[in-house]
Structure 1
Amino acid sequence: MHYGRVFVLLFGLVTSLSAFADSGIAMSSTRVIYNADKKEAAMTVQNRGKTSAYLVQSWIDDANEKKNPAFVVTPPLFRIEPGKENMLRIVRVGGTLPEDRESIFWLNVKAIPPAAQADANTLQLAIKTRMKLFYRPAGLKGNPADAYKQLVWSSSGGKVQVSNSSPYNVVLAQVNISGKEVKNDSVDFVPAKGTLNITLPANTNAGPGSKVAFKIISDFGGNSGPYNASVQ
């Protein structure tokens, strides 16, 4: 079976054990937690299709989509038959990372379909997903499930700034401010010992005392909350 060289990339977030859009490829989780006291982290890739094999390519990069030499994924490229699964192993091989907080990277997995026959008039799609990889140093204080308690919400220049004093990244699943849900790409994760700026919906009052309701995504990919806070 031959594989095509030119593909249209579709980017999407998959839910736990859900399939890529038009393929039979599924992942065992929506995120990876790499505990520093372990030798590696793992992710299972499944081909739930019944007829087609796929080539699966994987790599790790940073927020700027530049490959990061601190980690390697093995195998980086493999063929997976219908109804089969394979294990991706993520290993840290070097680099200097903070030891007082989590660092974030991204695991990319691309499923490449078989090439169409020469006389077939079809569009081939290589489906790619990009999921968060949290590198968690050993000995961090506190419980990552409680990190949301250390979020501080404040009004800043027409936006709401969320500060996180904990050593854990906090992934926001849903945010409502003054009764209005924020539906834009600014609702993301609040980095460990860092800040996130959230763009407000039109005509939303977010002055001191405004009410905030939010949900977070746990280490296991589920939503927790809603939790309540106030803008300072």
Structure 2
Amino acid sequence: MSVMTSFAHAGIALDRTRMIMTGNDRSTSANLTNTSPSVPFLAQSWVENEKGEKITSPLLVLPPLQRINGGQKGIVRVTKTSEADALPKDRESLFYLNVREIPPKPDKPNVLQLAMQSRIKLFYRPASIVPDEKSAIWQNQIVFHKQGSTFTADNPTPYYVTIIGLTRKMEKEGGGKLTDFPGIMLAPKSSQQFKVLDSAINTFAMMYVNDYGGHPELKFSCSGSVCNALPMEQQPK
């Protein structure tokens, strides 16, 4: 009877959880790191559209395949093709960057290898909506409408907004979750409904994901069935 042995290994790691490519950029890049000190890996990279279909236009990854030796770094670059000119000019477009590690052939018999794959959001932001300041906040424009235990989140902005969840208070004040979802992503100029755990709540905090993968919070207050973010001077610093 042969015995199959699982083989745990380090592998290829991305240096970010999301990428932003603007209409002003010819390309944008991310760093790859081989976290194994000695084992070389191949890194296979590609872009998918919003439907999860592999594409080579309007965004293209270079190189599609590269070798990264143990403890070394590599770069994956996303570049535009001419078809990028046909993307919407008034809102972001969503893509996904995929990086799959390919381990070397094992030198021992009966070894099971697992190839890991990273998949992160890749947002194309046309030049017409690039903020003047990198620290700009647009998530405070989200408006919530209450109807019993259902909230409707309206996103009037031209940006994708990822909401991690709502809490009774800011995390540093004790939190207290109001939602069960692991996160929702609102497309530009769209709405989405979800359930809340306390329909009587009139103040709450919203945690979201910013361009850098951070998780800031904003305070909201409700007037009747409509909930808006407090003015920025009343938001936590």
What TM-score, normalized by structure 2, do the two folds share?
0.77
2:47, 2:127 → 1: CA distance? Answer: 21
> Which stretches of structure 1, 4 residues or more, deviate above 4 A after TM superposition?
141-144
Distance 1:157 1:101, change over 3 A: farther
Residue 217 of structure 1, CA deviation: 1.6
Q: Flag the 1:227–1:151 CA change in 2: closer, same or farther, 3 A.
A: same
User: What is the deviation of 1:177?
Assistant: 6.2
Distance 1:141 1:71 in 2: 18
TM-aligned CA deviation for residue 22 of structure 1? 4.6
C-alpha deviation, 1:151, in angstroms? 0.2
Q: Please give the alpha-carbon distance, in whole angstroms, between the structure 1 residues aligned to 2:78 and 2:204.
A: 37
Pairs within 5 Å for 1:64-83: 64-68=51-55, 69-83=57-71
Listed as ranges, the matches of 1:113-132 within 5 Å are 113-117=103-107, 119=109, 121-132=110-121
| Structure 1 position 25, deviation (Å) | 2.1
Q: Tell me if the contact between 1:173 and 1:216 (Cα under 8 Å) persists in the aligned partners.
A: yes
Match of 1:195 among 181, 191, 194: 191
Kept in 2: contact 1:177–1:206 (CA 8 A): no
Contact 2:22–2:124 at 8 Å: present in 1 too? yes
Write the deviation string for residues 25-84 of structure 1: whole angstroms up to 9, x where unpaired.
222211101011110011111112112111111111123211232111000111110121
Computing the radius of gyration from Cα coordinates, the structure with the larger value is 2
For the Cα contact (< 8 Å) 2:149–2:198, is it kept in 1?
Answer: no
Match of residue 127, structure 2, among 126, 138, 141: 138
Alignment of 1:173-192 (within 5 A): 173-176=164-167, 179-185=176-182, 187-192=183-188
Does structure 1 conserve the Cα–Cα contact (< 8 Å) formed by 2:46 and 2:54? yes
CA distance in 2, matches of 1:56, 1:181: 40
Counterpart code for 1:89: R
1:1-232 paired onto structure 2 within 5 Å: 22-68=9-55, 69-93=57-81, 94-95=83-84, 96-117=86-107, 119=109, 121-140=110-129, 145-155=136-146, 159-176=150-167, 179-185=176-182, 187-200=183-196, 204-206=197-199, 210-230=202-222, 232=226
> Unmatched 5+ residue regions in structure 1?
1-20
Secondary structure at 2:115's aligned position in 1?
A: strand
Instruction: Give the secondary structure class of the aligned counterpart of 1:123.
Output: strand
Report how many aligned residue pairs link the two structures.
Answer: 206
Does the 8 Å CA contact 2:141/2:157 hold for their aligned counterparts?
A: yes
What is the SS of the residue equivalent to 1:145?
coil
DSSP 3-state at the match of 2:71? coil
Give the stretch that moved more between structures: 30-39 or 92-101. Answer: 92-101
Contact 1:153 1:229 in 2 (8 A): no
Which has the larger displacement, 162-171 or 139-148?
A: 139-148
Partner letter of residue 61 of structure 2?
V
**Offset at residue 131 of structure 1 (A):** 0.6
Computed over aligned residues only, the root mean square deviation of the Cα atoms, in angstroms, reads: 2.5
Name the aligned partner's letter for residue 122 of structure 2: L
Give unpaired runs (5+ residues) of structure 2: 1-7, 170-175, 227-237
